[in-house]
C-alpha cells in the first residue's frame, strides 16, 4: 500500500479548496490505492517560521509531526488555492521549512479556484519552487474551477463522471512516479 500525504494549503476562514483535499483522501482510500493523510495547514496553525527545521533548536511537536509525515510519504498531493495568481504564504512557509524531506519526493499539484480557470496560474511559480527544492514534480494537473459547483463541503463530487476520470489520470501519474522512484531507490541500494 502506498502512503500519500495530502497538503491542504488554504488556512482561510470559509475556505473551499479543502473540499478537494477531502475528495482525494476518499478517492485514494475507498479505491484502496493508498493510505492517505491530510496535512491540514489550517489545523496546524504554524507560525511564520523564523528558520528552517534543521536549524531550529527546539522545534515544536507539530513541526516534527508534520515533517515526519512528509518524510514517510511515498508521494505528496498539494492542494493549493490561487491567490492573486500565486500560491498562499501558508504553503511557502512549510515548503521552506524542510529541505532533505523534499529530495526526489514525487509531488502532484492540484490547483483550485472559485473562477473559471481552476487556479492554473499557480502552476508555474509552485512548480518552479518545488523543482528548486529538489522534489520530483509529477507532470499531471488537477485544476478545479468553480469549486463550489463541483464539490460539496465533505469533498463529494456533485457529478462524478468527468472529474473521476480526471482524478484517475492524475493519481495514476503520481503512482507511476512513486513506482519509478522506488525502482531507482532499490537499484541504488543494490549498488
Ligand atoms: C487573497 C485572495 C486572492 C485570490 N485570488 C484569486 C485569483 O487570483 N484567481 C482566482 O481564480 N481566484 C482567486 N481567489 C479566490 C479563490 O480561488 C477562492 O477563494 C477559492 O475558493 C480557493 O481558495 P480557498 O481554498 O481559500 O477558498 C482569491 C482569494 C483570496 C482569498
Q: Is 84 in the pocket of ligand 1 (CB under 6 A)?
A: yes
- Between the CA of 56 and the centroid of ligand 1 the distance, in Å, is 32
Contact 8, 18 (CB under 8 A): yes
| Closest ligand 1 atom number to CA of residue 119 | 11
Sort residue 135 into left (φ over 0), alpha (ψ -120 to 50) or beta: beta
Ligand 1 center–CA 86 separation, angstroms: 9
Q: What is the pLDDT of residue 161?
A: 77
Atom of ligand 1 nearest to the CA of 115: 11
Question: What was the pLDDT predicted at 160?
Answer: 74
Size (the chain), residues? 191
How much of the chain exceeds pLDDT 70, in percent? 100
Q: Which of 80, 81, 145 to mutate to test the pocket of ligand 1 (most atoms within 8 A of CB)?
A: 81
* Cβ burial, residue 93 (10 Å; 0-12/13-18/19+): middle
CA dist 4 and 25 (Å) reads: 9
- Beta carbons of 110 and 144 less than 8 angstroms apart: yes
pLDDT at res. 190: 85
Instruction: Tell me how far apart the alpha carbons of residues 83 and 90 are, in angstroms, rounded to a whole number.
Output: 11
**Is the CB of residue 151 below 6 angstroms from any atom belonging to ligand 1?**
no
- Whole-angstrom Cα distance, residue 20 to residue 154? 9
Closest ligand 1 atom to 16 CA: 27
Measured from the CA of 11, which atom of ligand 1 is nearest? 26
Task: Give the pLDDT of residue 138.
Answer: 98
Q: Report how far ligand 1's centroid is from the alpha carbon of 87 (Å).
A: 9
Residue 17 grid cell: 479548496
pLDDT at residue 43, rounded to an integer: 98
* Interatomic CA distance for residues 181 and 143, integer angstroms: 25
Report the C-alpha gap between 172 and 72 in whole angstroms: 20
Q: Which tens digits make up the pLDDT trace of 137-181?
A: 999 999 999 999 999 999 999 987 789 999 999 999 999 999 999
CA 130 to ligand 1 center in whole angstroms = 21
Q: Would the pTM of this model clear 0.75, i.e. be above it?
A: yes
Judge contact between 158 and 149, C-beta under 8 A.
yes
d(CA 75, CA 61): 22
Ranges of residues in the chain with a pLDDT under 70 are none
Is residue 156 within 8 A of residue 130, CB to CB? The reply is no
Amino acid at each position: 500500500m502506498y502512503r500519500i500525504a495530502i497538503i491542504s494549503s488554504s488556512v482561510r476562514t470559509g475556505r473551499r479548496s479543502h473540499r478537494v483535499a477531502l475528495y482525494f483522501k476518499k478517492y485514494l482510500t475507498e479505491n484502496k490505492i493508498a493510505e492517505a493523510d491530510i496535512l491540514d495547514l489550517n489545523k496546524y496553525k504554524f507560525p511564520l517560521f523564523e528558520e528552517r527545521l534543521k536549524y531550529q533548536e527546539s522545534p515544536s511537536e507539530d513541526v516534527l509531526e508534520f515533517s515526519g509525515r512528509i518524510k514517510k510519504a511515498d508521494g505528496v498531493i498539494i492542494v493549493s488555492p490561487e491567490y492573486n495568481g500565486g500560491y498562499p504564504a501558508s504553503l511557502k512557509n512549510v515548503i521552506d521549512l524542510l529541505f532533505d524531506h523534499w529530495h526526489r519526493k514525487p509531488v502532484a499539484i492540484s490547483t483550485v479556484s472559485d473562477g473559471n480557470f481552476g487556479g492554473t496560474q499557480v502552476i508555474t511559480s509552485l512548480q518552479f519552487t518545488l523543482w528548486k527544492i529538489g522534489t520530483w514534480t509529477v507532470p499531471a494537473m488537477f485544476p478545479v474551477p468553480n469549486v463550489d459547483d463541483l464539490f460539496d463541503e465533505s469533498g463529494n463530487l456533485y457529478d462524478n463522471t468527468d472529474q473521476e476520470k480526471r482524478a484517475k489520470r492524475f493519481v495514476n501519474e503520481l503512482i507511476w512516479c512513486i513506482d519509478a522512484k522506488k525502482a531507482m531507490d532499490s537499484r541504488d541500494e543494490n549498488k
